[in-house]
Amino acid sequence: MRRGSTGLTLVSGLAMLFLYGPILVLVLYSFNAAHLSMAWRGTTLKWYAALWHDEALLAATVNSLLIAVISTIGATLLGGLMALGMERMPLRRQQLIEGGLVLPLVIPEVMMGVALMLLFVMVKMPLGLTTVMLGHIVFNIPLVTIMIRARLRKLDPALREAAADLGADSWQVFRHVTLPLLRPAIWGAVLVAFTVSLDDFLVTFFTAGPGATTLPLKVYSMIKSGVTPEINALSALLLVISMACVAVSLHLQRREV
Amino acid sequence: MPSHDLSSPPKPGQSSCRSCWLAAPGLLWMGLFFLAPLALVFAISFASRGTYGGIVWEFTAANYLDLWHPLYGRILGQSLWYASLTTAICFSLGFPLAYMIARSPARWQPVLLLLVMLPFWTNFLVRTYAWMIVLRQDGLVNGLLLALGIVDAPLELLYTPTAVVIGLVYGYLPFMVLPLYVAVERLDPLLVEAAWDLYASRWAVFTQVVVPLTMPGIVGGCVLVFIPSIGSFITPDLLGGARSMMIGNLIQHEYLVVRDWPLGSAVSFVLMAIVMAAVVLYYRHAARTPGPLEGR
C-alpha cells in the first residue's frame, strides 16, 4: 500500500524506538562511573567487576541454575510422557486435557504463586529450594507437553507402522523411530523450560523460603533497595545473555527444518 | 492392538490403552500441585480470618461482600481501567506496526517480527527496571523535556498510573503485534486497492474494509494483551505508587502483609473470573494463532 505509507513508517519507527530505547539506555548507564546520579561521569567497568565479588549474587545464580536444571528435567520427563500418553486417548479426553493445560498458562502468576504457597503451608512443608522446584515443574509441564505434542502430530504414521511391520517391538519402535524423530522438539522444549524457569519471579517469590534466593529474587531486591549501580551492570549482563540464548535457539531451529 | 502399543501410529479412541498410562504421572502432578492448590484457594475464600491471621473454617460469603468496600472497589476498577487502556494503546501502536511488517518484502518479515519479539524474551524485571531509569526524576525523559524547554521543573513520572500503563504496554506489545500480523498477512491487498479505487476515504478503508477482515486477529491480540495486563504484579509494584495498585498487588498485600488469607483468596477468584471471561472471548472469536500463548 503506497498511500499513507509515510505515516505507517513513522509510527513503526516510533514503536521500534519505544521497544529498544529503554534497553539501550540501561546498557549505556551500566558503564557510567557516577555512583547515584544519572549525570555522566565517564565510562567504567567497575560495576561489572563488583558483580564478580558479590557472594550473595553468586549464591543466587547457583540456586537459579540448580532449580532450572532440576525442574527442566522433571518437566521434560513428565510432560514428554504425557504427550506420548495422550496420543491414543479418545479425542474428547485429549481436548479436555489440552484445555486444562492452557489454564496454567493463562491464569495470573500471582494466583499460581499464592495457591502453591497455601498448599505448602497447609501441608507444613518448609518453603525452600524444593518447593520452588515443585512449582517450576508445574508451569513447565504444559509448555513441554504442548511443544512435544505439536511434533508428534506432524510425524508420518507410516514410519512407525513400517518399523512395527519389520518386527520391532514397541520399545524398539520408540527407541529407534519415535525418539530420534522427536529429538528436535525435546531439545526445543528443554530450552524453553530452562529459560522460563531461570526467568521466573512470581511463583518463586511466593514459594521460596529465606535461604532460597534466586537470581530474579536478588534482582528484585536490588531494584527495590536501589542503592548500588551494580544492578545496572547485572541487568545489562542478563539482557545480553538472554538475547544470546534466543540467537542460539533460533539457529538450532533453523538447522532442524 | 494387543501387545505393541507405542509401535503402531496413534488411533485415538481405543478403549483399553496401555500407553495412555504414560500420561498419568504428569496428570497426577498437575492435579496435586495445580488443581488442588486452586481448590484450596477457592475453599479458603469462603472461610473467615482468625484473630491472629489464621483461618477459621466457618462458611461465609463475607469476603466477597467485603470486596464492595470502596477501597477494594477502587483497586478493582482502576485495574480494569489500566488493562483496558493498555490494550487500546497496544492496538493503536501494534496495528500500524503489524501492517507495515505484513506489507514489507517477504524476506524482511521474519527479521522485523524478530525485532518486535526480541525484547520480550529478556527478563521482565530487567525490562521494567529499564523504564525506572528512563522515567526517574533525573532520568532521560525529564532530561529531554528540560533541555528542550518544554517544562521548567522535572515532571513526576515514575510511581504514577502513567508509568504503570507505559510499562504494561511495553511488556505486552508483542502479544498484540503477532496475531495482528497474521491477520493482516492474510488480508488480500486487492480488496484494499478496490476500496481506494472506489474513492473510499482513508478512514472508511480502515473501518469498513481492513478492520472487519482482520477482526479475529484484533480480538486475539486484545485478549492476549488484556489477560497478562489485568493480572500483572511486577509492573505496578515497581513503576506504580501506593495509589496505582492493581489486583495482583492487592492479592500479594492481603497474603503477605495483612495476612488476611480468606480475603486474598476471594480477590484471587474475582481476578480468575475476569481472566476466564477473556479466555472464553478468545476461544469464541479469535483466530487461534500458535505462538504467543505457547511460547511465553
**Residue A178's domain is classified under what CATH number?**
1.10.3720.10
Report chain A residues whose CB lies below 8 A from the CB of B147.
none
Residue of B nearest to A104 (CA): B34
Report the residue of B89, B115, B123 to disrupt the A interface, i.e. the one with the largest count of A CBs within 10 Å. Answer: B123
Report chain B residues whose CB lies below 8 A from the CB of A104.
30, 34
Provide the residue type at A174 as one letter: F
Provide the residue type at B122 as one letter: T
Q: What is the pLDDT of residues A75-110, one digit of tens each?
A: 999 999 999 999 888 889 999 999 999 999 999 999
Query: With a CB-CB cutoff of 8 Å, which residues 124-153 of chain B face chain A?
Result: 124-127, 129-134, 136, 138-140, 143
* Count of structural domains within chain A: 1
Q: Is residue A17 part of a domain?
A: no
Q: Is residue B248 part of a domain?
A: yes
Burial string for B250-260 (b: 16+ CB within 10 Å, else e) reads: bbbbbbeeeeb
Q: Is residue A199 part of a domain?
A: yes
CB-CB under 8 Å, A15 with B173: yes
H helices of B45-160, in order, are 62-66, 70-102, 109-117, 124-135, 140-147
Report chain A residues whose CB lies below 8 A from the CB of B91.
none
Taking the C-alpha atoms of residue B188 and residue B178, their distance in angstroms, rounded to an integer, is 18
Taking the C-alpha atoms of residue B24 and residue B17, their distance in angstroms, rounded to an integer, is 12
CA A101 to chain centre: 17
Return the bridge partners of B49, or none. B55
Average pLDDT over residues A167-181: 90
Size of interface A-B (CB pairs under 8 A): 279
CB-CB under 8 Å, A141 with B29: yes
* Count of structural domains within chain B: 1
pLDDT of residue B50: 77
Residue of B nearest to A22 (CA): B130
Q: Is residue B62 part of a domain?
A: no
Q: Is residue B36 part of a domain?
A: no
Most confident of A7-11, A124-128, A224-228: A124-128
Which of B34, B44, B130 lies closest to A118 in CB terms?
A: B44
pLDDT of residue A243: 83
Taking the C-alpha atoms of residue A142 and residue B57, their distance in angstroms, rounded to an integer, is 33
* Collapsed DSSP state (helix, strand, coil) of residue A156: coil
pLDDT of residue B94: 92
pLDDT at A207 over 60: yes
Using the Cβ of A257 and the Cβ atoms of chain B, whether some distance falls under 8 Å is answered with: no
Report chain B residues whose CB lies below 8 A from the CB of A25.
130, 133-134, 140
Q: Is residue B132 part of a domain?
A: yes
Annotate A70-83 with three-state secondary structure: HHHHHHHHHHHHHH
| H or E element in which residue B194 lies | helix B189-197
| H or E element in which residue A4 lies | none
Distance (Å) from the alpha carbon of B118 to chain A's nearest alpha carbon? 7
Q: Is residue B111 part of a domain?
A: yes
CB-CB under 8 Å, B125 with A220: yes
CA B75 → CA A147, B12, B226, B249, distances in Å? 37, 48, 16, 9
Q: How large is the ipTM?
A: 0.89
Classify residue B287 as left (phi > 0), alpha (psi -120 to 50) or beta: beta
pLDDT of residue B1: 39
Q: Is residue B200 part of a domain?
A: yes
State the residue for C-alpha cell 500500500. A1
Taking the C-alpha atoms of residue A121 and residue A134, their distance in angstroms, rounded to an integer, is 14
Report chain A residues whose CB lies below 8 A from the CB of B131.
22
Q: Cell numbers for B37, please give them.
A: 492448590
Q: What is the pLDDT of residues A129-168, one digit of tens each?
A: 999 999 999 999 999 999 999 989 888 888 888 998 998 8
Q: Is residue B20 part of a domain?
A: no
Question: Is B78 within 8 Å of B84 (Cβ atoms)?
Answer: no
Q: Is residue B58 part of a domain?
A: no
| Rg of chain B over all Cα atoms, to the nearest angstrom | 24
Report chain B residues whose CB lies below 8 A from the CB of A189.
none
Per-residue DSSP letter, B20: G
Residues of the domain holding B207: 72-285
Query: With a CB-CB cutoff of 8 Å, which residues 50-109 of chain B face chain A?
Result: 93-94, 96-97, 99-101, 103
pLDDT of residue B165: 97
Per DSSP bridges, beta strands B48-49 and B55-56 are antiparallel
CB-CB under 8 Å, B118 with A235: no
Q: Residue B112: which CATH number?
A: 1.10.3720.10
Q: Cell numbers for B162, please give them.
A: 502513567
pLDDT of residue B291: 43
State the residue for C-alpha cell 527407541. A175
* Collapsed DSSP state (helix, strand, coil) of residue A66: helix
pLDDT of residue A137: 97
Quickly count: other Cβ atoms within 10 Å of residue A151's Cβ. Answer: 17
Distance (Å) from the alpha carbon of A102 to chain B's nearest alpha carbon? 8
pLDDT of residue B4: 44
Q: What is the pLDDT of residues A43-73, one digit of tens each?
A: 888 888 888 888 889 999 999 999 999 999 9
Q: Cell numbers for B237, please give them.
A: 509494584
CA B98 → CA A149, A180, B115, B185, distances in Å? 29, 37, 12, 9
Residues in chain B with pLDDT < 70?
1-16, 53, 287-296
pLDDT of residue B258: 87
Q: Compute the C-alpha angle A184/A186/A188, nearest 5°.
A: 70
Which of A109, A138, A157 lies closest to B9 in CB terms?
A: A157
CA A16 → CA A242, B94, B204, distances in Å? 19, 11, 28
Residues of the domain holding A247: 54-256
Q: What is the pLDDT of residues A218-248, one digit of tens each?
A: 999 999 887 678 888 999 888 888 888 777 7
Distance (Å) from the alpha carbon of A218 to chain B's nearest alpha carbon? 11
Q: In chain B, what's the furthest Cα-to-Cα distance?
A: 82
Question: Is B263 within 8 Å of A115 (Cβ atoms)?
Answer: no
- Mention every residue, 6+ apart, whose C-beta is less than 8 A from residue B113: B101, B177, B178, B181
Q: Is residue A131 part of a domain?
A: yes
pLDDT of residue B41: 94
Q: Is residue A212 part of a domain?
A: yes
- Mention every residue, 6+ apart, whose C-beta is less than 8 A from residue A127: A117, A120, A121, A207, A208, A209, A212
Using the Cβ of A1 and the Cβ atoms of chain B, whether some distance falls under 8 Å is answered with: yes
